Structure formats: structure tokens, C-alpha cells
Amino acid sequence: KDAPVKKITPKKVVEKKERILGIDPGFGRIGFGVIEKNNNNNWKVVGYGCIETSPQREFIDRLDDLHKILKKVIKKYNPTRSAVEDLFFAKNVKTAIKVAQARGVILLTLRLADLEIDEFTPLQIKQTIVGYGRAEKRQVQEMLKINLNMKEKPKQDDAADALAVALTCGVSLKMKGLL
């Protein structure tokens, strides 16, 4: 006598959506933007904003605040990877050093959250978003509005820059065949 045939239902494979956290580094105001692929295979905005640290606090305390708040942003948005803008400074060395230290805190916080980190220069970001590496901020913001199907441009430059970093990462992943 044959054993009864058991119906085996294949498990549904749930593909985790790529969700990218973009960061525009700083120490007074740090922009963040989160995007993810929608069902039409286009990028959509999940959230964005700025982390602000108080100039009344000691610099080391501001770095600690940045770390703690960025951890909360990561927990809230649950990104699958991250992207950070590379620094570019021509003038104020003292400010550049502080921003570089804050960027180190940002990179470490992202690494401790087990996120992949991609880094892009301002030139690469503008080239990707606008098609011209010397584009103006308003041009980048207008293209973000179009490409991310936003009703209006982000009001804070730092948040817009962070969304541009995230979108550059998404385009880069697609070009590399990773999406």
C-alpha cells in the first residue's frame, strides 16, 4: 500500500525591499533621508529631516547627541544600507575638522548598526541626480522632487542633500546590477 501523498506548499519567498538611509554630515545640523523601492520599481521617500545639536553644549557632548539620535533614526526607519556624502571643504579648516569628527561618529554609528556604507562626493551626487557635476542646489532639489515623486521640494537643504545621497546610492546599486 502506497503512503498517502502529502501536499507540500512552497514557502513564499519574501524579498526584503532595499531601504537606503542617506546622510549629509555635519555637527550642528545633519541631514538624513530615507528612500525605498516601491512596487513600480521606483524610489519613494519614506522620511527625511535634520538632526540638530545645540551650540550651547560642549563639542564632545554634541557628538554623543548625534550618535544617540542617529541610532534612533536607524531604529525608526530600519534601513537595509546607508550612504554618506564625502567631505569637501575649500576654506575653514577648523570647521572641516569638526565636521570630519562628526562624520567619523556617523560612520561608526552606521557600522555598529551593521549597515553597508556607500560614500559619494558632491560631484558624483550632482552628476547622478542632475546630469551635471556643478549643478546648483535648487537644480538638485527640483530633480529630487521629480525623481522621488514628491509634492514639494524639501525645505531644509541638509535633508534634501541627504535624499540626494540616498538616491545616488540607489542609482549606483542599479548600475552595478545589485538591484
- Which member of 24, 36, 118, 161 is catalytic? 24
Cell numbers for 170, please give them: 540607489
Residue 85 falls in the annotated catalytic set: yes
- Which member of 18, 36, 85, 161 is catalytic? 85
Residue 24 falls in the annotated catalytic set: yes
User: Per-residue pLDDT averaged across 14-37, rounded?
Assistant: 90
Instruction: Assess contact for 43 and 170: CB atoms under 8 A.
Output: yes
| pLDDT tens digits, 61-78 | 999 999 999 999 999 999
pTM: 0.88
Residue matched to cell numbers 544600507 = 81
Residue 114 falls in the annotated catalytic set: no
Q: CA-CA distance, 163 to 5, in Å (whole number)? A: 53
| pLDDT tens digits, 29-66 | 999 999 999 888 899 999 999 999 999 999 999 999 99
- Which member of 18, 36, 158, 161 is catalytic? 158
Amino acid, single-letter form, for residue 128? T
